[in-house]
Structure 1
Amino acid sequence: MKLFPSVPRHQKWMMGATFVVVAIYSISHNKEQLAEAARTHLTSSTPTVIDGDTVEFPSGRVRIVGIDAPDDDRPQLKALATDALQRLAARDGGLDCSVSMFDYALRRENQCRTDPKSYGRLNLACRFPANKASVGASMVAQGYAVDYRMYSGGAYVGLMQKAAAQRAGLWGVDYEGMRQLAVERATVPDGCAVGTIKQ
């Protein structure tokens, strides 16, 4: 069976060439974004903490990959999570953010990988300079954020479950609110390969 049987040969060639050009452009554009993110290394001893998972540096805003902290729909919890991240950053030398091998390992599935940018923010992994601890793991372990399954691959689920059981951080303030956030962020969207995500 021929595709487009009534279309002249020269138009088929033009359609094919257009497809190839668009595909090459899309691939190169995505590679440019990935390369830019890979080169990005933001560090500050006094970053501006926007909320429990977003930080402002002089050269850009960063969304910490793999976690989600409460937002404006839970204002009390958002304020507490923001304060917790500010205190940790002040105690442990600020924040150091970049694309890490760990984050590439989490991007196993094409449909659920973290894009280099979202809403004007760079999606990066962050560490505390003083002790090299993961910011994402620390926030989840202390009960101020939840595992964001489609971007973490379930990397922080064990830490989250332990924090919930111990009523650590926000789990002790509003267990049901945190449980609802965790359930929302545990959902795997349509098109994602569930088998590649830790249960």
Structure 2
Amino acid sequence: MNRTARVIRDLFLTALIFLFLGLVVVRLDVRNSEAPSGQARVVDGDTLVMGGQRIRLVGIDAPELRQVCERDGQPWACGRAAKDHLEALIGEDRAACAADGSDRYGRLLAICLIRDLDLNAAMVGSGYAVAFGAYEAEEEMAKRNRLGLWAGTFDAPHTWRRTHGGMDELPHMPTGTLRIMLSRLGDWIAGIWND
């Protein structure tokens, strides 16, 4: 292949890659604008409904409503306690959420705030949810202080769902993971072209 043909091919591929990346960024921006704000209804310890839309708090996993854990050698309705704790955090305030895509069940994956309080981090930090792709530092603090779930014994929520016929899901990717992967892909492609 002569030099002119390679230059034309490289320009064409570059234009296609930029078009693809532009479409991805636009799609990500649309997803980020999809998350509603307003009064939230708590479904369970990691799911809200706002404006008729189900929102899954990204990066965390709370016990299911029917899940029972153990505390001081006694059964403890930890799923109900997680829901109650999230309701107490929200109170009568309005939530503002930033979406990070959707899960396979159609729920928006979002980080939600009440005033300046990150609800996702607060649920893990208080021990009423576990880290599920993010918030590992908050989980370590809750474990150390034996807060919430960590004050007793429990099955991880995803394990409990699997053994009780609930919805199966994988840990969530932290915010910005797709953008980081696309950036690395662009660096890799640039490295190939420079060779």
Interval containing the TM-score (normalised by the shorter chain): 0.5 to 0.7
Deviation at 1:61, TM superposition (A): 1.3
Is the CA contact (8 Å cut-off) linking 2:62 and 2:157 kept in structure 1? no
Q: TM-score, normalised by structure 2?
A: 0.59
Q: TM-score, normalised by structure 1?
A: 0.58
Question: 1:88/1:43 Cα in 2 relative to 1: closer, same or farther (>3 Å)?
Answer: same
Deviation at 1:34, TM superposition (A): 2.4
Q: Partner letter of residue 131 of structure 2?
A: D
Matched with 2:109 is 123
**Residue of 53, 64, 68 corresponding to 1:60:** 53
Query: Structure 2: how far apart are the matches of 1:180 and 1:65?
Result: 14
**Residue of 128, 132, 137 corresponding to 1:158:** 137
Structure number with the higher strand fraction is 2
Deviation at 1:53, TM superposition (A): 0.8
Matched with 1:148 is 132
Query: Structure 2: how far apart are the matches of 1:187 and 1:47?
Result: 24
**Cα deviation digits, residues 130-186 of structure 1 (max 9, x gap):** xx111111011111111112xx2xxx21211221222212222x33435986xx999
Deviation at 1:36, TM superposition (A): 2.4
Matched with 2:185 is none
Is the CA contact (8 Å cut-off) linking 1:42 and 1:59 kept in structure 2? no
Matched with 1:15 is none
SS of residue paired to 1:175:
coil
Which ranges of structure 2 fall in alignment gaps of 5 or more residues?
1-18, 69-76, 163-168, 173-180, 182-195
Matched with 1:175 is 153
**Cα deviation digits, residues 71-129 of structure 1 (max 9, x gap):** 256252211101100011006x2321114xxxxxxxxxxxxxx6x11212111111112
Q: How does 1:54-133 map to 2 (within 5 A)?
A: 54-71=47-64, 74-75=67-68, 76-90=77-91, 93-99=93-99, 116-118=101-103, 119-129=105-115, 132-133=116-117
**Residue of 15, 27, 34 corresponding to 1:40:** 34
Is the CA contact (8 Å cut-off) linking 2:45 and 2:129 kept in structure 1? yes
Q: Partner letter of residue 98 of structure 1?
A: A
Give the CA RMSD over aligned residues.
Answer: 3.6
Deviation at 1:33, TM superposition (A): 4.5
Query: Structure 2: how far apart are the matches of 1:36 and 1:85?
Result: 27
Which ranges of structure 1 fall in alignment gaps of 5 or more residues?
1-23, 100-113, 189-195
Query: Structure 1: how far apart are the matches of 2:96 and 2:34?
Result: 11
Is the CA contact (8 Å cut-off) linking 1:167 and 1:175 kept in structure 2? no
Query: Structure 2: how far apart are the matches of 1:139 and 1:95?
Result: 15
Query: Structure 2: how far apart are the matches of 1:179 and 1:40?
Result: 27
Number of residue equivalences: 141
- Percent identity over paired residues: 27
